A and B are shown apart, each in its own frame.
Chain A
Amino acid sequence: MITAGIDVGAKTIKVVLLDGGKILAKTSVLAGFETEQSVEEAYKEALAKAGIERSAVGKVGATGAGRKAVAFAQTVVTEVSADAQGAVFLHPSARTVIDVGAEEGRGIKTNADGKVVDFAVNEKCAAGAGAFTESMARALEVTLAQFGDISLKSNKSIPMNAQCTVFAESEVVSLIHSNTSKEDIARAVHDAIASRISAMVRRVGLEQDVILVGGVAYNIGFLDSIKRTLGIENVVVPQDPEYVGALGAAVVAGAAGN
């Protein structure tokens, strides 16, 4: 049976079409203001990419902060459950899932079936999430990709407040004024986010293998920081890490009874 998973995130909507163990298509569109319209657009694009009709999809699962916008979904699952299911589907030995999306960071402990054992999510503020890195990259006047690259050139540890995006931004401005290099500032930002995320991970209990998902997984500077902060060499980043939640929703939809 072909199943669809739709992850309605704060910034983007991701769709995965799954046929048994095989991913048929993945698409992503900006969430925009008209979420239901964007969901429809993303879904149609995925169907077209896979070359199948809507009627070929047996079950649709929705997840993400805006999951209620997927009116045609038969199953609805939280991001936490979707992440765990998607991560274990891709990497069966995954036991800790770190998801850093646009507005939320999560640490999830899962069992071999992809069932959530424990989880921690950042509270209210977006510090420790993707929007925070974007804001800091803007402050340094570099692209997000450059922001990750340049931080790897630094070997300095500069403590920074990662509790509040606004305060952190003013700290970055102070560092710029004190002639701290962009490389050192970029690393400080990544270390601060990693520190916050690893606190969540340790709260639920670090168990290997660790898999990093969500859009921030593309950021090699953050990846370096989270490895150092957790004190582990291997953090698995799957291909297209931002689609893991949508994939999990498709897996859950497939597992749901008829």
Chain B
Amino acid sequence: MATLTKYPTEPLKCWNKAKELRLKYYKDYAECKQRGGIRWSGGAWAMDAIPAGLGDDVYTLTSEPYAASVAFDPKLNAECQSAADAKGWSRDLCSYMRTYWGSMYVNKYAFGGEFPKPDFAFQTQICCSHHKWYQHVAEYKQIPYFTIDVSVGLYKDVDEGRIAYVVNQMQESIPWLEKVTGRKFDDEKFIAAVNNECRTTSLWAEVCTLNKAVPAPLEEKTMYALYVLATLSKHSKEFGDFYEELRDEVKDRIARGIAAVSTERCRLITDTQPPWSYLSMYRYMEKYGAVSVGSLYTFALEGVFADQPDGSWGPRPTPEQLGIKIRTREEALRIYADWNLSKPEWQHFYDPQIKTDIMLRMVKEFKLNGVILHLNRGCEGLSKGIMENRLGLVKAGVPVMTYEGNMGDEKEMDYPRTLSRIDSFMESLGFNKLEN
């Protein structure tokens, strides 16, 4: 075994703040009714800037990150999964959906107390599970429900007609929100929320782009605790401010040569949601000096990217950065629809080649040695076409490892065999384990 210590490293200064913000989010959701607030639930891709027009005391529970939090607690997760089984739901459904429903059935909130009943559900539909997820929640909890269909095709093919299709649904959602909450919609708050969301998601893309640096200032296991904020509330100014602070700290780390992993010598990306109960596999990779610098999932689930003037991949400039001042609800809705439809993680729902192309671009720009693909049996949406992605990467000469697992159901993961597969992959890349 070779010994190698190369780069200086240090903990992220804003790490604890990220944790605090996340916990505050979940606590606020649970407690907001005591203060007369409103709470709603929807997916991490829901157009959350719209309900923000109802006031500053409107709180969200986004279901996928919530289910991921439950998955991190194997005991509670097993209880939730069993409860979903007992209701007769099939194991091959979205495991996040099963966990969320299970948490609702057993009436336990992962952050303490009973499962807080949302006042309404507000969702988007692009993945096969999204609409049905909240249709069932609405029926079970007897709450009103609105879905916006955003599956209008590839962003490069989006025209005014397709944008209007999304915008019209968003327009219709506003009087619906006023009706079900009894509140008046405030356009100024909505416009501010749209600007905040563009800023937050562009900033996250900027943070991810900074990980092109060698050594990588961040590694993916840490990034999971950071990207999550954008999945909780994209329109939050507080989260946008945090990402700005994080961006500055990451820039400072690069300037000082601070690595996430001191022994970095092999750079990888992964794909799709990880098996949350087994994040220790990322630390295992580090025994080889291998660092996962991110994934299309971690970067672009919420991060909004665009081609940069130099041809590289980076953050999409926000309307404010482009000098666009949003004045009306109509302008805000149009910009909001266009912004979300450009999200990279939405593109491969239509064509796996798009994802392969993005991954090949990442391999080049992030200077990668290989790719690890999680054949995630818990998410049909993000695993769709994944073996075609593998084929495309292999054809381009990129070493690829696959492993089968499930983001939210640990029963579907063979951890020792996965580690053994990592051993084989590392050997094939020419890396041996490092000494401590």
- Spell out A's residues near B (CB within 8 Å): 65, 77-81, 115-121, 123-124, 203, 205
9 A-B residue pairs with CB within 8 Å: A65-B420, A80-B424, A115-B428, A116-B428, A121-B417, A121-B424, A124-B417, A203-B387, A203-B390
Other A-B pairs beyond A80-B427, A81-B427, A121-B421, 9, CB < 8 Å? A65-B420, A77-B427, A79-B424, A118-B400, A120-B402, A121-B424, A123-B403, A123-B414, A124-B412
CB distance from B281 to the nearest CB of A (A): 15
Query: In the complex, what residue of chain A is closest to B399 when comparing beta carbons?
Result: A118
Question: Which secondary structure dominates chain B's binding surface?
Answer: helix
User: 6 closest A-B pairs (Cβ-Cβ)?
Assistant: A80-B424, A116-B428, A123-B404, A78-B424, A124-B414, A81-B427
Interface of chain A, helix or strand or loop or mixed? mixed
A residues in contact with B390, CB < 8 Å: 203
Known: A123-B404, A124-B404. A116 touches B424 (CB 8 A): yes
| A205 contact set on B, CB distance < 8 A | 394
| A-contact bits for B396-416, CB 8 A (1 contact / 0 none) | 000110111000000010100
A118→B404 contact, CB < 8 A: no
Q: Are A117 and B417 in contact (CB under 8 A)?
A: no
Q: Contact check: which of B402, B412, B423 meets A78 at CB < 8 Å?
A: B423
Complex interface: chain A residues within 8 A of B423 (CB): 78
Please name all residues of chain A whose beta carbon is closer than 8 Å to the beta carbon of B417 when the two chains form the complex. Answer: 121, 124
When the two chains form the complex, which single residue of B387, B403, B412, B428 contacts A119, counting CB atoms closer than 8 Å? B428
A117 touches B404 (CB 8 A): no
Please give the distance in Å from B436's CB to the nearest CB on chain A. Answer: 16
Residues in chain A near residue B427, CB distance under 8 A = 77-78, 80-81, 116
Nearest residue (CB) in B for A77 is B427
CA distance A80 to B394 in the complex (A): 18
Query: Shortest distance in angstroms between A204's beta carbon and chain B's nearest beta carbon?
Result: 8
Which of B375, B387, B402, B428 has its CB near the most chain A CB atoms (within 10 A)?
A: B428
| Distance A248 CA – B416 CA, assembled complex (angstroms) | 22
Q: Shortest beta-carbon distance, B275 to chain A, in Å?
A: 13
Q: Are B428 and A117 in contact (CB under 8 A)?
A: yes
- Provide the residues of chain A in CB contact with B375, threshold 8 Å: 123
- Residues of chain B with a CB closer than 8 A to A78's CB: 420, 423-424, 427
Complex Cα–Cα for A21 and B412 (A): 44
* The one of B420, B421, B428 that contacts A118, using a Cβ cutoff of 8 Å: B428
Cα separation A166 to B424 with both chains bound (whole Å): 29
Complex CA distance for A119 and B423, rounded to whole angstroms: 12
Task: Give Cα A38–Cα B403 distance, bound, in whole angstroms.
Answer: 31
Q: By CB atoms of chain A within 10 A, which of B387, B394, B414 has the most?
A: B394
**Using Cβ atoms and an 8 Å threshold, which residues of chain A touch B424?**
78-81, 116, 119, 121
| Bound: A86/B404 CA distance, A | 27
Which B residues, 73 to 121, have Cβ-Cβ distances below 8 Å to chain A? none
Roughly how many angstroms separate A56 CA and B376 CA in the complex, as a whole number?
Answer: 49
Instruction: Report how far A77 CA is from B421 CA in the complex, Å.
Output: 12
Complex CA distance for A117 and B370, rounded to whole angstroms: 12
- Smallest distance from the beta carbon of A118 to chain B beta carbons, Å? 7
B421 touches A81 (CB 8 A): no
- A182: min CB distance to chain B, Å: 33
Minimal beta-carbon separation of A216 from chain B (angstroms): 19
Verify A118–B394 contact, CB threshold 8 A: yes
User: What residues on B are CB-neighbors of A77 within 8 Å?
Assistant: 427
